[in-house]
Amino acid sequence: MHLLDAQNITKTFGGLTAVNDVTLTIEKGRIVSVIGPNGAGKTTFFNILTGIYKPDKGTILFDGKPIAGLRSDVIAALGMRRTFQNIRLFNNMTVLENVLVGMHTHLHAPFWQILVRSPGVRREEAKARERARERLAYVGLDAKRDELAKNLPYGDQRRLEIARALAGEPKLILLDEPTAGMNPQETDAATELIRRLRDELGLTVVLIEHDMRLVMAISERISVLDYGTKIAEGDAATIRSNPRVIEAYLGKGAAGAAA
């Protein structure tokens, strides 16, 4: 069964067609990558999936429900979470609080009960904290839970973003360049973490990534975008030898030379 089924998605900004008739289906429990040169429309595509932009054309089914045009927070509540290309943490909140915010859709304490701090509210809060710490421990950040997010080293910030997304108990997690700016060791650790998300937590993962070593190592399926259009799709070996992909990345002459 397809967890995500995006059909014929098109989005234009003025005269620019950022995403052009892109179709992407993702099966449950897969690690899928979306790659392409800068400006190919990858992040725009993510923004459409998560409801930041409304598609001009196309339908999106998530877990069987149509979500195209729904508000971002509604889509997030349905179980699709993401990280951002340029890390977007809540900088002046602690690491633990960042994760607690990620759990927002799972906390239901009503306003009046919060005002009187009913036992139910206290229980829910205590449970949430415990759960948040588990999530932090999972990505290896529990010891830093009281630090402000902005004071974390870069690699930890990336991991915190993942922990925050995990806190929402998602079915699908979209990672927008999770290893951008990382050194090789950090990248290896991140690769390992992404693999564990799927193997241990049973998550479905969609990646946007430029690090081809990582993409080729963990993706079961790769979709290539160029100028907003999907130009290729398949497993790592297929993509590596696809002339259109090589052309998109290296230019026209290179494709001939490689072939």
Partner 1 sequence: MTTTASSVSAWERIKTALTSGPSGYGFMVLYAAVCSWLLLTNPRTNLNTDIVFVLFLLLVLLVYRSQLVLGFKLALVAVMLALVLPIFGTLNPFYIDVATQAGIFIALALGLNVVVGFAGLLDLGYVAFFAVGAYLWGILSTPQITLINPAWSPVPPIMFYPFILIGLAVGAFFGVLLGLPVLRLRGDYLAIVTLGLGEVIRVLANNLDRPINITNGSQGIRDIERPPLIFAGFVRDTLGWQLSDQQLYQQFFYFAILLIVLLVVVVVGRLKGSRIGRAWEAIREDETAAIAQGIPLVRMKLLAFAVGASFAGAMGVVFASKQLFINPPTFDLLRSINILSMVILGGMGSIPGVIFGAVLVTLLDLQILPRIANVLRDAQRAGLPIPAAFDPTQYQRLLFGLLLILMMIFRPQGIMPDERRKEELQEHDSIPDAIEHAKIPDTESEVGLK
Q: Provide the binding-site residues for partner 1, judged by CB under 8 A.
A: 50, 52, 71-74, 76-77, 81-82, 84, 88-94, 96-97, 100-105, 107, 109, 111, 114-115, 117, 121, 125, 128-129, 142-143, 145-148, 164, 168
SS (H, E, C) 45-71: HHHHHCCCCCCCEEEEEECCEECCCCC
169 conformational bin, left if phi > 0, alpha if psi -120 to 50, beta if neither: left
Task: Provide, rounded to whole angstroms, the least separation between the CB of residue 143 and partner 1.
Answer: 4
Tell me, rounded to whole angstroms, the distance of Cα 182 from its chain centroid.
17
Task: Provide, rounded to whole angstroms, the least separation between the CB of residue 146 and partner 1.
Answer: 5
* Bridge partners (DSSP) listed for residue 7: 59
Task: Provide, rounded to whole angstroms, the least separation between the CB of residue 110 and partner 1.
Answer: 10
Which C-beta is closer to partner 1: that of 150 or that of 252? 150
38 conformational bin, left if phi > 0, alpha if psi -120 to 50, beta if neither: beta
Which C-beta is closer to partner 1: that of 107 or that of 257? 107
Task: Provide, rounded to whole angstroms, the least separation between the CB of residue 71 and partner 1.
Answer: 8
Whether the CB-CB separation of 148 and 92 falls below 8 Å is answered with yes
**Neighbouring C-beta atoms of residue 173, cutoff 10 Å:** 24
Which C-beta is closer to partner 1: that of 108 or that of 244? 108
Task: Provide, rounded to whole angstroms, the least separation between the CB of residue 227 and partner 1.
Answer: 25
Which C-beta is closer to partner 1: that of 36 or that of 51? 51
Ranges of beta strands (E only) in 121-227 are 172-176, 204-208, 221-226
Which C-beta is closer to partner 1: that of 7 or that of 72? 72
What radius of gyration do the chain's Cα atoms show? Answer: 19
Phi, psi of 232 (to 5 degrees): -160, 160
Distance CA 24, CA 22 (A): 7
Task: Provide, rounded to whole angstroms, the least separation between the CB of residue 160 and partner 1.
Answer: 12
Which C-beta is closer to partner 1: that of 135 or that of 230? 135
Task: Provide, rounded to whole angstroms, the least separation between the CB of residue 140 and partner 1.
Answer: 12
Tell me, rounded to whole angstroms, the distance of Cα 155 from its chain centroid.
16
Whether the CB-CB separation of 56 and 243 falls below 8 Å is answered with no
Tokens 């620019």, located at residue: 16
Which C-beta is closer to partner 1: that of 16 or that of 114? 114
